[in-house]
């Protein structure tokens, strides 16, 4: 990709996992409503390529989109308990602004950070907790209808539908990545659901790298590592994107320690920039009381 890649929400957990893994491989344009400290910015990204802006600001987004070849759109409210006014503004309105600007600017590839919560409603009482265990064969593969379990999930389903619209109307390649649970160094500790949908940092960076390089039309894929425990299929991510995950939560104990002899190492990317997997020191949204703080 010769043109710049616009990364929205660059200062957050997912954005930093991507930049730590593939920060040296692209000509980045970084957008976040919070200023990014130098430690969060790859070498070579100039001030001119850093935008402090809200994604609902159409003018700023259009300006950041100039000459961009691809977009990774992460900015939004990530809380599963987020109230409607926040997801409406940050996740639905904001995503529409970013996608429309991308389509109108002729951007070729657009990767949208969707979520496991777009389909959380499939985790019914009769399926759980068996669903989270390695011997259970139930799989969601991205062809199922959205089935959100909360308003945050509704906002992600809306983003997926917006992606469909801008693909169909403008021919923009759109991939919606239903991200599982990103944690650094080890899977979520003592959390079956989290271990079933673990996404390691290096798999996260590799997956979004594939989103920037592969040829696709409109796709919904699951963004998880190659976990033995899983109820999301990796087939579409493998086939459509060439995703080839390296990590597996089964290589760690339930408490999150690497098992002896297992080839673990999914925590870090290539760069030695300061780790920043935790939510920002001064969170942009009030913390989510239901979200385990461990390792997130």
Ligand X SMILES: O=C1O[C@H](COP(=O)(O)O)[C@@H](O)[C@H](O)[C@H]1O
Ligand Y SMILES: NC(=O)C1=CN([C@@H]2O[C@H](COP(=O)(O)OP(=O)(O)OC[C@H]3O[C@@H](n4cnc5c(N)ncnc54)[C@H](O)[C@@H]3O)[C@@H](O)[C@H]2O)C=CC1
Catalytic positions, written as ranges = 152
Q: Which helix (H) or strand (E) holds 286?
A: none
Q: What residues contact 196, with CB distance under 8 A and at least 6 apart?
A: 131, 132, 180, 224, 227, 229, 230, 231, 232, 249
Sheet containing strand 70-73, edge to edge, reads: 50-52, 28-32, 5-8, 70-73, 109-115, 173-179, 218-223
Among positions 4, 6, 15, 162, the unique one binding ligand Y when judged by CB under 6 A: 15
Judged by CB, which is closer to ligand Y: 78, or 146? 78
Per-residue interface string for the shown chain with ligand Y, residues 33-72, x marking contact by CB under 6 A: xx-------------------xxx----------------
Among positions 4, 9, 187, 256, the unique one binding ligand Y when judged by CB under 6 A: 9
Judged by CB, which is closer to ligand X: 214, or 296? 296
Segment interacting with ligand Y (CB under 6 A) among 28-36, 43-51, 64-72, 237-245: 28-36
The DSSP code sequence of 202-261 is HHHHHHHHHHHHS--SEEEEEE----SS-SB--HHIIIII-------GGGB-TTSPBPTT
Give yes or no for a contact between 115 and 52, defined as CB atoms under 8 angstroms apart: no
**By CB under 6 A, residue 202 contacts ligand Y:** no
Judged by CB, which is closer to ligand Y: 91, or 173? 91
221 to 280, contacts with ligand Y by CB under 6 A?
279
Judged by CB, which is closer to ligand X: 80, or 100? 80
**By CB under 6 A, residue 111 contacts ligand Y:** no
**By CB under 6 A, residue 182 contacts ligand Y:** yes
Own/partner pairs, 39-44, CB within 8 angstroms, 24+ separation = 39/273, 39/274, 39/276, 40/10, 40/11, 40/16, 40/273, 40/274, 40/276, 42/271, 42/273
* Other Cβ atoms within 10 Å of 107 Cβ, number: 25
Annotated ligand binding at 150? The verdict is: no
Choose among ligand Y, ligand X, none what residue 193 binds, the Cβ cut-off being 5 to 8 Å by kind. ligand X
Among positions 113, 151, 157, 240, the unique one binding ligand Y when judged by CB under 6 A: 113
Segment interacting with ligand Y (CB under 6 A) among 29-37, 123-131, 188-196, 258-266: 29-37
Annotated ligand binding at 232? The verdict is: no
Q: Which residues are annotated as a binding site for NAD(+)?
A: 90, 115, 152, 156
């Amino acid at each position: 990709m010769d043109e710049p890649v616009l990364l929205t929400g660059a200062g957050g957990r997912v954005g930093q996992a991507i930049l730590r893994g593939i920060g040296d491989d692209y000509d980045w344009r970084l957008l976040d409503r919070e200023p990014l400290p130098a430690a969060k910015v790859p070498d070579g990204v100039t001030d001119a390529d850093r935008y402090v802006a809200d994604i609902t600001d159409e003018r700023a987004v259009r300006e950041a989109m100039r000459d961009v070849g691809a977009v990774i759109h992460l900015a939004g409210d990530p809380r599963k308990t987020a109230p409607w006014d926040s997801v409406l503004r940050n996740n639905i309105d904001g995503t529409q602004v970013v996608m429309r600007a991308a389509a109108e600017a002729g951007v070729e590839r657009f990767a949208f950070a969707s979520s496991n919560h777009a389909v959380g409603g499939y985790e019914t009482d009769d399926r759980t907790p068996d669903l989270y265990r390695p011997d259970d064969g139930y799989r969601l593969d991205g062809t199922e209808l959205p089935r959100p379990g909360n308003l945050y999930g509704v906002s992600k389903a809306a983003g997926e539908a917006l992606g469909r619209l801008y693909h169909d109307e403008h021919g923009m390649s759109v991939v919606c990545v239903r991200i599982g649970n990103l944690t650094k160094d080890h899977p979520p500790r003592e959390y079956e659901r989290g271990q079933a949908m673990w996404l390691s940092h290096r798999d996260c960076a590799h997956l979004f790298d594939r989103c920037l390089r592969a040829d696709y039309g409109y796709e919904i894929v699951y963004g998880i590592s190659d976990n033995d425990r899983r109820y999301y299929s990796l087939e579409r991510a493998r086939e459509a994107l060439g995703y080839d995950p390296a990590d597996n939560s089964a290589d760690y104990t339930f408490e999150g320690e690497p098992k002896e002899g297992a080839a673990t190492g999914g925590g870090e990317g290539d760069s030695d920039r300061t780790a920043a997997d935790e939510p920002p020191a001064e969170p942009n949204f009030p913390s989510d009381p239901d979200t385990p703080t461990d390792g997130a």
